[in-house]
């Protein structure tokens, strides 16, 4: 039984991402947050006052999908939706939200350490450059986020 897909870096990329995201989901489970929700909170923590749409642009999440997530986080008392510029709502974290954000960042750092520990030491400096190259848009290609 051999898997021909093991030859393809695209398959390795897909499986690696799926495995590590499942692991991160488990690490975030005690906070009752999905990876997407935790990412949104982390971005708001570093950029208080952004609108839903702007946060979504940074994370490549469409505003239609941001909305129910932000409302959920607001109902849980983590995110505050205040009047902002124009119709935009300025998103900030509540006091409790800032505690949650600290826990999220700690979880992300643990996860990062666990990921890097898998990689042989001589390859570790290549991890970020390789992943950035695989992600980055090529010249002339449309960029949908950031």
Partner DNA sequence: TATTGTTATACTCTATAACTATA
Partner DNA sequence: TATAGTTATAGAGTATAACAATA
Considering only residues 64 through 123, tell me which ones interact with a copy of itself, judged by CB under 8 A: 105, 108, 111-112, 115-120, 123
Q: Which is nearer to DNA, 60 or 116 (CB)?
A: 60
Q: Residue from 5, 12, 18, 119 that binds DNA (CB under 7 A)? A: 18
Q: Residue from 16, 20, 31, 34 that binds DNA (CB under 7 A)? A: 34
DSSP secondary structure letters along 51-116: -HHHHHHHHT--HHHHHHHHHHHHHTTSEEEEE-STTPEEEEE-HHHHHHHHHHHHHHHHHHHHHH
Question: CA angle at residue 119 from 117 to 120, to 5 degrees?
Answer: 105
- Which tokens in the block code for residue 53? 């749409």
Q: Does 67 bind DNA (CB under 7 A)?
A: yes
Q: Residue from 61, 73, 101, 104 that binds DNA (CB under 7 A)? A: 61
| 76, burial (CB in 10 Å: exposed 0-12, middle 13-18, buried 19+) | middle
**Interstrand relation of 79-83 and 89-93 (parallel, antiparallel or unpaired):** antiparallel
Binding partner of 120, given DNA, a copy of itself, none, CB within 5-8 angstroms per partner class: a copy of itself
Q: Residue from 36, 118, 123, 124 that binds DNA (CB under 7 A)? A: 36
Q: Residue from 30, 68, 129, 140 that binds a copy of itself (CB under 8 A)? A: 129
User: What is the per-residue binding string for a copy of itself in 16-55, x denoting contact by CB under 8 A?
Assistant: xxxxxx--x----------x---x--xx-xxx--x---x-
């Amino acid at each position: 039984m051999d898997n021909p897909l093991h030859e393809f870096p695209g398959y390795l990329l897909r499986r690696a991402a799926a495995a590590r995201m499942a692991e991160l989901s488990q690490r975030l489970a005690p906070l009752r947050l999905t990876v997407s929700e935790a990412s949104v909170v982390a971005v708001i923590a570093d950029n208080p006052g952004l609108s839903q749409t702007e946060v979504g642009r940074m994370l490549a999440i469409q505003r239609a999908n941001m909305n129910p997530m932000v409302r959920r986080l607001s109902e849980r008392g983590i995110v505050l939706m205040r009047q902002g510029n124009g119709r935009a709502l300025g998103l900030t974290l509540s006091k409790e939200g800032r505690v949650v954000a600290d826990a999220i960042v700690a979880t992300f750092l643990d996860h990062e350490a666990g990921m890097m520990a898998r990689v042989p030491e001589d390859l570790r400096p290549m991890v970020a450059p390789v992943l950035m190259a695989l992600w980055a848009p090529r010249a002339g290609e449309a960029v949908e986020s950031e």
